[in-house]
Amino acid sequence: MSLLPAQEAADIPRQEISPKTVLITGGAGFIGINLADRLLSAGENVLIYDNVSRPGVEQNLYWLLERHGEERVQVEIADIRDLYQLRKAAAGAKMVFHFAAQVAVTTSVADPVRDFETNLHGTLNLLEILRSLENPPPLVFTSTNKVYGGLEDIGLRRNSTRYEPTEVSILSGGIRENRPMKFRSPYGCSKGAADQYVLDYSGIYGIKAVVFRMSCIYGPRQFGTEDQGWIAHFLIRAIHDRPLTVYGDGMQVRDILFIDDLLDAFLLAGSHMERLSGEAYNIGGGPENSISLIELLSLIREIQGK
């Protein structure tokens, strides 16, 4: 497990965990830090639970601390697999957003055991902790569109800048939640199984929980790499005048959603948990906000002038 160097971790202030906080696992990452900022700005108490193993996320924590002050930002640097620390963090939570995960397909192929332990066992740890509480807080879990596999059965046609589905209903409305799951890659298996465990614990144990099967999210505070966060990766490479590698012909299409819109969806789900609990939702920008790789490169060229 690769954690933040001891000296840097020591520099991040810790406090006693206050009751009635919103717990965000993986809270130092791109989505978690933006959600924490939104909640803190609205007057909520927030606990960031993160092992800060992803390069760059410590910058997010320093940014949040500077923006909201050490007295308001609670940070617990710990791993989702650490049952003791996780139980302590969840004990006083009024709501839980579970984002902590191994997020790259490539990494899951290289190290499937770590992927399993983080994504599936870590989620099961959290669910068991919530089940043990007298009044479990509601849970929002971020799954992935990878639970539907490669979608090989969907016919495609090629136009000038992208591939598009030949089936009109998919072209206009995208993939529906009733589509059969087809896990592929260790990442797809671990996230898909965690997705199902969350829904099952909601049905069997009465934990109020909603699952978002997410597409490509982009926005500020994102440290994109070639493996994950491709829009930020493209933009960062362009800003620094570095070369880009495009796999395939660049006409593959991705459904993209801006981070603020995702946060709106999270908060709406949280405020309607009684009605939405036990449901899974595909979340993205929809067909009108889809983009191919070469279409994004064209936009970058317009902005950068090259």
Report the C-alpha gap between 192 and 181 in whole angstroms: 8
Which residues are CB-neighbours of 87 under 8 A, at least 6 positions away?
129
SS3 of 195, please? helix
Q: Is the dihedral of CA 16, 19, 20, 26 positive or negative?
A: positive
Half-sphere exposure of 291 (CA within 13 A, CB side): 19
Catalytic residues: 187
Report the C-alpha gap between 292 and 248 in whole angstroms: 12
DSSP state of 288: G
Report the C-alpha gap between 144 and 141 in whole angstroms: 10
Report the C-alpha gap between 31 and 195 in whole angstroms: 18
Angle at 102 between CA 128 and CA 163, to 5 degrees: 120
Report the C-alpha gap between 184 and 188 in whole angstroms: 5
Q: Are 180 and 196 in contact (CB under 8 A)?
A: no
SS3 of 210, please? strand
SS3 of 82, please? coil
